[in-house]
Amino acid sequence: MKNYEIVPNPIYDNVFKYLLEDNESARIILSVLSGRDIIKLESDTGSYTEKMTELDKKIKIEKLERKAVLKKQKLKKSEWELINTELKLQKIKLENPYTGTDIVRGHLDFIATVKNNLGVEELIMIELQKEKKPEDIFRFKRYIAGKFTRQVERTVINNRTKVPETKLVSLPILPIFILNFKIEDDIKDLVLHTNNITTGLYTNKILEKPNDFIDNLTYGIIIVQLAHINQIKGKLDIFKSDSKLINTYRLLSLFDQGLVYNNNPHRLRYDLDEVPKKFKRIVRRLKSAALENPDLEEQMYAEDEYLEALKYKSRLINNLKKELDKEKSIRLKAEAEKQILKLFYIKRMSVEEVSKKYNISIEEIEKILGMN
């Protein structure tokens, strides 16, 4: 008899955040995904939300308005309304339909103490982001760059005096993205690793030793494509001798949207016999999410509505841009035809000369001139 457990879907923000607030669950997940031996993990919870101050909002809106004015100066009056509508869409506030407050999306950051390849302990910052649908990928922008300026206090041994001293150091960043969609269809892999390799331009040699300046920038990027999980599911026998690959697959199976229970996207059903002992804590944590959060279901519905509003907004803006491009194309074509007529009738250029100048076929020119 199957041993099933039904839990809230961790692809939803509030469930995911609750799961990662349990330090040990977070350590397990990040250790597997990063492939690092995480000895200690601290949550940098202050960066979870990305609320803008009123001043920030005002500056952003003023910038959009200035941009719109510049666009208007280059366009005909018939195109102004498209710009005005696009500007209004950019100002749309997405609110929780149950509370009326702004829905704020954000990031989960952690400061991890790990052992590097030489067995030496070091600090790194792990930035974890999870995205449910492609429309939500805008959250990636404007974020990582700010993290490069992040510094923390660290006790180090002074090479000259051999005495411990506290100093501010920059942390290398490891961004991890868990996507419920695919971003590539070439290799169709569940996990993508973009690793930094430092190579000399002239010597073509690879720098293999640790380097404080380079190592304190970034470790590269890890991207999970949950949409490709079935590609791996059918090949598990090939990887059964590689515990790292099997562990990673088993962990990410806890996010598999193919496990949706009874057509309810808010719930997943796990076969506990398929969940390794080391991941049971994660299942228990997810199970307790609904028990400790009586409003969880409403929050999940609110997130559904948020993403629908975001998709609607995105579609409107894309349609407006298409209309704008169409309008520009018509205008440019009209201007080109006017110029061709001018060259032909005023400057007395031949059809062949106009064709060569504009790189347009003689047949097209004759059509513009009404000669055929």
- Tell me the pLDDT tens digit for each residue of 32-82: 999 888 999 988 754 433 444 455 556 666 666 666 566 555 555 444 454
Answer for the pair 6, 120: CB distance below 8 angstroms, yes or no.
Answer: no
pLDDT at 172 over 70: yes
Question: How far from 135 is each of 11, 156, 178, 308, 309, CA to CA, in Å?
Answer: 15, 44, 14, 9, 10
* Helix (H/G/I), strand (E/B), else coil: 118: coil
Q: Label residue 80 left, alpha or beta by phi (over 0 means left) and psi (-120 to 50 means alpha).
A: alpha
Residue type, 101: T
- DSSP for 63-95 reads HHHHHHHHHHHHS-HHHHHHHHHHHHHHTPPPB
CB crowding 8-24: b at 16 or more within 10 Å, else e:
bbbbbbbbbbbbbebee
As beta bridge partners, residue 4 has: 271
pLDDT at 6 over 90: yes
Average pLDDT over residues 275-282: 95
Count the residues in the chain: 372
- Tell me the pLDDT tens digit for each residue of 68-126: 566 555 555 444 454 454 444 444 444 544 455 544 445 688 989 998 777 788 888 88
Q: In this predicted structure, which of 34-43, 145-154, 156-165 has the lowest mean pLDDT?
A: 145-154
Backbone angles phi, psi at 151, to 5 degrees: -130, 150
Mean pLDDT of the chain: 75
Q: Label residue 71 left, alpha or beta by phi (over 0 means left) and psi (-120 to 50 means alpha).
A: alpha
- Tell me the pLDDT tens digit for each residue of 302-324: 888 777 766 776 677 677 777 77
The whole-number pLDDT of residue 61 equals: 61
Q: What is the pTM of this model?
A: 0.66
Q: In this predicted structure, which of 143-152, 156-165, 263-272 has the lowest mean pLDDT?
A: 143-152
Question: How far from 2 is each of 7, 270, 272, 371, CA to CA, in Å?
Answer: 16, 10, 8, 79
pLDDT at 284 over 70: yes
Average pLDDT over residues 238-249: 91
The whole-number pLDDT of residue 239 equals: 87
Average pLDDT over residues 276-283: 96
The whole-number pLDDT of residue 255 equals: 96
pLDDT at 300 over 60: yes
The whole-number pLDDT of residue 161 equals: 78
Backbone angles phi, psi at 90, to 5 degrees: -65, -25
The whole-number pLDDT of residue 171 equals: 78
Residue ranges per domain, the chain? 4-50+104-293
Q: Which contiguous run of DSSP H or E holds residue 60?
A: helix 54-74
Q: How far is CA 208 from the centre of its chain?
A: 30
| 283: confidence class by pLDDT, cuts 50, 70, 90 | very high
Average pLDDT over residues 5-15: 92
Q: How far apart are CA 111 and CA 40, in angstroms?
A: 8
Q: In this predicted structure, which of 57-61, 73-77, 248-252, 289-293 has the lowest mean pLDDT?
A: 73-77
Residue type, 266: H
CA 16-18-19 angle, to 5 degrees, is 65
Q: How far apart are CA 366 and CA 372, in angstroms?
A: 6
Place of tokens 């457990």: 5
Between 330 and 241, name the one with better pLDDT.
241
The whole-number pLDDT of residue 310 equals: 66
